[in-house]
Amino acid sequence: MIDSADIPERVWRLMSPADQKAHGHDPGAAAKALARRETNEQRIFNTWLNNRLRERQLYPINPRSDKATTIRVGHPDYSIWLPTGQMLLLEMKVAGGILRPEQIDCIERLIDLGHTVRIPGSAAEAIDEVKKYL
């Protein structure tokens, strides 16, 4: 018997969803795992940011990831106002995450306007980036 882990993704795509399921293949599993990792990193970073907010060190804005956004599509995950009038924009992308075209366009526009935009891959990287300004 062939181990399903040995079947290349291009072969899975040729199979019907019912056949994929019958063989234990979930084509969305990798995307779901990636989203869970990113959400977990954001939770850690949000906790850190909220502690700095309580200490009046910065003022962060982060749209909820569990609801449809009401801000412009592609805007970075975090807008952070820092001491001395500085602003830092962060788009969290864990390893394997890919920027959507709207995100790339928005980031390019913000950089063209002179704003600092960073793309950390973890909460630790995001924290280190913000600490540079505190």
| pLDDT tier, 33 (very low <50, low <70, confident <90, very high otherwise) | confident
Long-range own/partner contacts, residues 110-116 (CB < 8 A, 24 or more apart): 110/76, 115/87, 115/89, 116/86, 116/87, 116/88, 116/89
In tens, the pLDDT along 34-60 reads 889 999 999 999 999 999 999 999 999
Report the C-alpha gap between 59 and 41 in whole angstroms. Answer: 19
Report the C-alpha gap between 92 and 78 in whole angstroms. Answer: 8
In tens, the pLDDT along 69-102 reads 788 889 999 999 999 899 999 999 999 889 999 9
In the sheet that holds 78-81, the strands lie side by side as 59-61, 78-81, 87-90, 116-118
Tell me the average pLDDT of the chain: 88
Query: Which distant-in-sequence residues (6+ apart) come within 8 Å of 119 by Cβ?
Result: 90, 91, 92, 93, 99, 107
Q: What are the structural domains, with CATH classification, of the chain? A: 16-131 (3.40.1350.10)
The whole-model pTM stands at 0.79
